[in-house]
Amino acid sequence: MTTLLPMATPDLAWAVTRNDAAKPVAERDAILADPGFGKHFTDHMVDICWSERGGWHRPRVQPYGPITLDPAASVLHYGQEIFEGLKAYRHADGSIWSFRPDANARRLQRSAKRLALPELPEQYFIEALRQLIAIDGDWVPSAPETSLYLRPFMFAKEAFLGVRPAHKVAFYVIASPAGAYFHGGVKPVSIWLSTEYSRAGKGGTGAAKTGGNYAASLVAQAEAAEHGCAQVLFLDSVEGKWLEELGGMNVVLVYKDGTLVTPKSDSILEGITRDSILQLAEDRGHRVERRQVSIDEWREGAASGDIVEAFACGTAAVVTPIGMIKAADFEIGSPDAVAGELTMSLRAELTDIQYGRRPDPHGWMLRLDA
């Protein structure tokens, strides 16, 4: 059955088709009890079409399921694709909230510009999240540190093998319940320093959230795993000297005087988690520096005791302490390093805001279910 619902933006009316084969409550509850990450998906998905002639049109909520694509769809050949990642959090009173979704909407627009895709208006992005939560809100888990991960994405679906920006594009949102990232407490991870591979180059797509950057990181990530590391750290592609970021997380160093330093570069993805953590640190009176920082500075600073903590940050794992860096010919830190004190207290402050356990001084939270 399809019904038309009015939408906050007057020019788009949403068509909602309920999933007749939605998961029974018992099955959903079993998934929510142990969701893992990115393995299970809710009963519905959202999509909005774009064409060069018609602009954004036909917003829909429909049953979750396979997408039919022409084999010549340009995304399958030239990778014209971007995505976002954010979470819906259940608060103690049952309400459902997201964290700075306007920042995700704007970042999707920046990614779109770089990948020659159309910019989705911010209000359509937010409305898409609300529509999905309106129908799949019961999929937001309530156990501590769990959430519903929301994955908006956009791709070129025009059937055309010529090389130019596609004239037909689709925007989707899917959702996947996520368990606590760390079982049995947050533990420091070991990180492999890739010297052979770069994730992005000067003038490339490093600052856009696009699948190609991830594709480029996978062999390095596999190399990290071979060395017993959870993640890979990339350096700049020109000098092989300056810190950039991990495959999907930003990196921050903490100095003994309380200063936080994070790499500045045109080829890293500007994380919303990092921006928020650094804001919270500034609120506490810490100095924050966004500047070039070399792997040698980290090595020497860790050896001299000037650099006392390091962490990675991103939506999925929030904040992950870095225990050690392993490179082909040196190591920083040690495998049994303990999580840094400031790292853990900033992590706690951020998650307390996200889960509604503490006031939200910057107005970062947006309610999705009302």
Q: Smallest distance from the beta carbon of 208 to ligand PLP, in angstroms?
A: 9
Q: At a CB cut-off of 8 Å and minimum separation 6, what does 122 contact?
A: 102, 105, 106, 109
What residue ranges bind ligand PLP (CB under 6 A)?
85, 209, 213, 245, 248-250, 269, 271-274, 314-315
Distance in Å, CB of 2 to ligand PLP, minimum: 34
CA distance 87 to 140: 9
Residue among 12, 59, 11, 40 nearest 172 (CA) = 59
- Nearer to ligand PLP by Cβ, of 16 and 220: the residue is 220
Rounded Cα gap, residues 42 and 65, in angstroms: 10
Query: At 164, is the secondary structure helix, strand, or coil?
Result: coil
Chain position carrying tokens 């959430």: 147
Judged by beta carbon, residue 85 or residue 356, the one nearer ligand PLP is 85
At its nearest, how many Å lie between ligand PLP and the CB of residue 108? 11
- Tell me how far, at minimum, the Cβ of 247 lies from ligand PLP, in Å: 7
Q: Which two tokens stand for residue 80?
A: 């014209």
Decide whether 133 or 232 has the Cβ nearer to ligand PLP.
232
CB nearer to ligand PLP: pick between 135 and 217: 217
CB-CB neighbours of 186 under 10 Å: 20
DSSP state, 159? B
**Least distance (Å) between residue 213 CB and ligand PLP:** 6
Nearer to ligand PLP, 208 or 254 (CB): 208
Choice between 59 and 212, CB closer to ligand PLP: 212
**CA-based Rg of the chain, rounded to a whole angstrom?**
21
For residue 310, the minimal CB distance to ligand PLP (Å) is 15
Q: What is the Cβ-side half-sphere exposure of residue 295, based on CA atoms within 13 angstroms?
A: 24
Q: What angle do CA 145, 146, 149 make, to 5 degrees?
A: 125
